[in-house]
């Protein structure tokens, strides 16, 4: 209720899976983005329930861009090499998983929760039924990648947007081809990167130095998102990020940051949801600040003084300020890493004015 997420099961890339009267063919998103739907192994079971993601590995796109030194052709060549490496790693892990037996997963397999596991005995290997699952290659920092390659990210120019779409389309086509070749489900993930966002940039700053718009912050931008610090209208942000949803079949999400209490402006709230639908968003969410005074119980927007009881924050327990961090609702940033703290602090709100 505080931070509503919207799953658009009638998005152009979700609706084809739906079969009237069969709830299991409705696309379902897990957590802050994970999506499992297509099934190259068994096209008769392109469903969401009783399946899952077996593993995913994330590619550090900004590092490849920095190594490319402006050579876009070299960038794509190295990207292919990294995709091949990820697939090799995922298959090695998959081979280990396949040797496990039903008894190793007493609830998931033993109770018949996983698709096809109801036909297996207690001591049988689960390899064949695991083929219903997905193995995903993810990516982080598309914005920083574009900045390193051509000097602008996809929120700044159509040229950067076109290159961004070319990069992610290339990744999706490669994984689709590998899926057909191996008759397994390899999918493309828009990685949330709770920890990687800070780890990758720290390693790259040490190697390449501090580069404006690339390694000069404590984090890389989440997946294909436009940077949280970049001033852009809410509707424009939705339209620019929407095309990436169709490409990232392992999961995606787009956020809009609003200021104030959205309950006070339901028409604007609805217009954002409708814009998401029309733009082709698969999974969208609207963030807004929610504060709470634990002394008097007031919920709403609190500055330095509680509007209900008049208490100042320094006069007692601190006000709880609930924010969303990669899908998690938190009342304090104290337990998060430096990268996510910096990202939250740098967020700007998105105007509701059309461009």
Q: How far apart are CA 154 and CA 144, in angstroms?
A: 10
pLDDT at 287: 83
By C-alpha distance, which of 242, 231, 263 is closest to 3? Answer: 263
pLDDT at 157: 98
Please report, for the chain, the start and end positions of each structural domain, with discontinuous segments joined by +: 5-345
pLDDT tens for each residue of 228-276: 999 999 999 999 999 999 999 999 999 998 876 665 678 888 999 999 9
pLDDT tens for each residue of 58-82: 999 999 999 999 999 999 999 999 9
Say which range, 84-88, 251-255, 324-328, has the weakest mean pLDDT: 324-328
Residue 337 confidence class, pLDDT cut points 50, 70, 90: low
- More confident site: 31 or 281: 281
- Residue 58: in which H helix or E strand, if any? strand 53-60
pLDDT at 340: 59
Q: How far apart are CA 322 and CA 347, in angstroms?
A: 14
Interstrand relation of 185-190 and 134-140 (parallel, antiparallel or unpaired): parallel
By C-alpha distance, which of 63, 57, 87 is closest to 75? Answer: 63
Mean pLDDT of 41-56: 96
- Please tell me the number of Cα atoms within 13 Å of 300 on its side-chain side: 13
Q: Which two tokens stand for residue 129?
A: 């039924």
Q: Which residues of 183-210 are buried (b: 16+ CB within 10 A; e: fewer)?
A: ebbbbbbbbbbbebbbebbeebbeeeee
Q: Which CATH architecture has domain 5-345?
A: Alpha-Beta Barrel (3.20)
pLDDT at 321: 77
By C-alpha distance, which of 107, 130, 109 is closest to 118? Answer: 109
The whole model's pTM is what?
0.90
Evaluate if residue 330 carries a pLDDT over 70. no
Mean pLDDT of 172-178: 99
String of DSSP letters for 237-303: HHHHHHHHHHH-TTB--EEEE--S-GGG-HHHHHHHHHHHHHHT-SEEEEE--EEE-TTT--EE--S
Evaluate if residue 328 carries a pLDDT over 70. no
Q: How far apart are CA 90 and CA 71, in angstroms?
A: 29
pLDDT above 90 as % of the chain:
75
- More confident site: 342 or 259: 259
- The answer to whether the beta carbons of residues 295 and 289 sit under 8 Å apart is no
Residue 192 confidence class, pLDDT cut points 50, 70, 90: confident
């Amino acid at each position: 209720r505080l931070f509503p997420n919207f799953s658009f099961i009638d998005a152009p890339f979700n609706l084809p899976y739906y079969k009237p009267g069969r709830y299991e063919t409705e696309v379902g998103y897990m957590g802050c983005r994970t999506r499992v739907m297509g099934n190259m192994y068994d096209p008769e079971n392109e469903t969401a329930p009783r399946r899952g993601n077996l593993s995913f590995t994330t590619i550090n796109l900004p590092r490849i861009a920095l190594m490319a030194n402006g050579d876009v052709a070299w960038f794509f060549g190295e990207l292919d090499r990294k995709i091949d490496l990820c697939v090799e790693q995922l298959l090695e892990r998959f081979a280990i998983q396949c040797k496990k037996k039903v008894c190793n997963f007493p609830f998931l397999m033993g109770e018949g929760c996983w698709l096809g596991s109801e036909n297996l005995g207690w001591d049988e290997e689960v390899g064949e039924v695991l083929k219903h699952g997905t193995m995903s290659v993810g990516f982080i920092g598309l914005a920083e990648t574009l900045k390193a390659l051509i000097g602008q990210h996809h929120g700044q120019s159509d040229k950067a947007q076109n290159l961004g779409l070319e990069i992610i389309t290339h990744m999706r086509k490669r994984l689709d081809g590998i899926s057909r070749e191996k008759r397994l489900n390899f999918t493309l993930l828009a990685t949330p990167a709770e920890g990687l966002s800070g780890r990758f940039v720290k390693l790259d700053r040490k190697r390449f130095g501090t580069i404006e718009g690339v390694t000069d912050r404590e984090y890389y931008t989440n997946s294909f998102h436009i940077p949280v610090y970049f001033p852009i209208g809410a509707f424009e942000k939705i339209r620019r990020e929407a095309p990436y949803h169709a490409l990232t079949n392992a999961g995606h999400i787009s956020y809009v940051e609003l200021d104030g209490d959205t309950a006070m402006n339901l028409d604007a709230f609805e217009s954002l949801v409708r814009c998401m639908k029309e733009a082709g968003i698969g999974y969208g969410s609207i963030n807004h600040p929610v504060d709470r005074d634990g002394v008097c119980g007031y919920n709403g927007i609190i500055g330095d003084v509680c509007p209900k009881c008049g208490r100042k924050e320094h006069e007692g327990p601190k006000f709880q300020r609930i924010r969303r961090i990669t899908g998690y609702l938190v009342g304090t940033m104290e337990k998060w890493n430096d990268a996510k703290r910096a990202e939250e602090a740098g967020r700007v709100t998105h105007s509701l004015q059309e461009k």
